[in-house]
Amino acid sequence: MNGDGFVDILAGNWGHNNKFVAGKNGPLKLYVKDFDKNGSTEQVMAYTIDGKEYTFLAKDELERSLPVLKKAYLNYSDVAGKTVSYMFYDLFNNYRELKAEQLGSSCFINDGKGNFVRTSLPAQLQMAPLMSFASMPGNNLQFVTGGNFYGVVPYEGRYDAQPISIFRYDAKDKHMQFLQPVTGNDAEVRDLKWYRGPAGEYRLLVAANNGPLRLYRQKN
C-alpha cells in the first residue's frame, strides 16, 4: 500500500451506511441458540445504545423464526423500547455470542515488526459493502474497488450505493484519499481484474453477482 516493501491489507466490510451502526455506540452482537427448543437454531441480532442491548429486527420479523414471542407479546407496545434480555426473559441463557466491533472497510498498514495499524477507508467508500480491490495499472498506490449486496430482508433495504471507485494511499500524510467513481452502482461487484488488451491498453474486467461480465477500458 505505501511502497515500503511490507505487505499490507485492504479489508472490505459492511460499511457505515446501514441500520447496524446509525446512532449506535456499542458492538453489534449475534446470539445463537435454539431459543424455543424446537430443534432449529435461531439467531438474534442486537445493537447497543448506552450499554443496553436491543433487537435489530422488529417484533413481526423476529416472530417468523420465533413464534413463541407472538404468544408472549400480543402488541408492539409490549416490547417497544425493551432490551433483548427483557424480551427473551428465561430463554436468554446458555447461548453462543458473536460480536462485531468494527463495520467500516479498512486498510491495515504493516509496520514490518509484526504489527498492523488500522485506518478507515474514506467515507465515500463506506456507503455499502466492499467486495473486491485491485491495484491500478502502473500505480501501486492507487486502487479500484467495488461492492454492493442485495440479498437482504426488506426491513434492511438492499445495499446498492457503492459504485466502482478509485482511491489512493497518501504515504506522506498516511491516510486514504478518495479520487473518483469509475462507473455506476447498478451491480453487485464480486471481483475485479485488470488485463492487457490487444493494443496494449488496460481493461478492467468486472464480475457481477448472477450477471454477465463487464468490461471497462482505461482512458489515457
Which residue has cell 417497544?
80
Domain check: are 131 and 160 in the same one? yes
Q: Are 194 and 204 in contact (CB under 8 A)?
A: yes
Give the pLDDT of the chain (220 residues) as one tens digit per residue.
Answer: 888 899 999 999 999 999 888 667 888 999 999 988 888 898 999 988 888 899 998 888 888 888 878 778 878 788 888 898 888 877 778 899 999 989 999 999 999 998 999 999 999 999 999 999 999 988 778 999 999 999 998 888 999 999 999 999 887 777 889 999 988 888 999 999 999 888 888 999 999 999 899 998 876 6
Domain check: are 188 and 208 in the same one? yes
Query: How many domains would you assign to the chain?
Result: 2
Structural domain ending residue among the three candidates 47, 67, 100? 100
Domain check: are 72 and 147 in the same one? no
DSSP secondary structure letters along the chain: --SSSS--EEE----SSSTTTTT--S-EEEEEE-TT-SS--EEEEEEEETTEEEESS-HHHHHHH-THHHHH--SGGGTTT--HHHHHGGGSSS-EEEEE---S-EEEEE-SSS-EEEEEPPGGG-SS-EEEEEEETTEEEEEEEEE-B--S-TTT--B----EEEEEEETTTTEEEEEEEEE-S-S-EEEEEEEE-TTS-EEEEEEETTS--EEEEPP-
Cβ partners under 8 Å of residue 52, min gap 6: 83
Residue 154 counted as domain residue: yes
Instruction: Select from 84, 88, 54 the least CA-distant residue to 68.
Output: 88
- SS3 state at 125: helix
Residue 3 counted as domain residue: no
Domain check: are 96 and 110 in the same one? no
Structural domain ending residue among the three candidates 68, 100, 132? 100
Residue 22 counted as domain residue: no
Domain check: are 110 and 91 in the same one? no
Structural domain ending residue among the three candidates 43, 66, 100? 100
Instruction: Select from 171, 166, 176 the least CA-distant residue to 106.
Output: 176
Is beta strand 9-11 parallel, antiparallel or unpaired with respect to 106-110?
antiparallel
Domain check: are 79 and 114 in the same one? no
Domain check: are 93 and 111 in the same one? no
Residue 192 counted as domain residue: yes
Domain that holds residue 39: 28-100
Answer whether 0.95 is exceeded by the pTM. Answer: no
Domain check: are 93 and 109 in the same one? no
Domain check: are 37 and 67 in the same one? yes
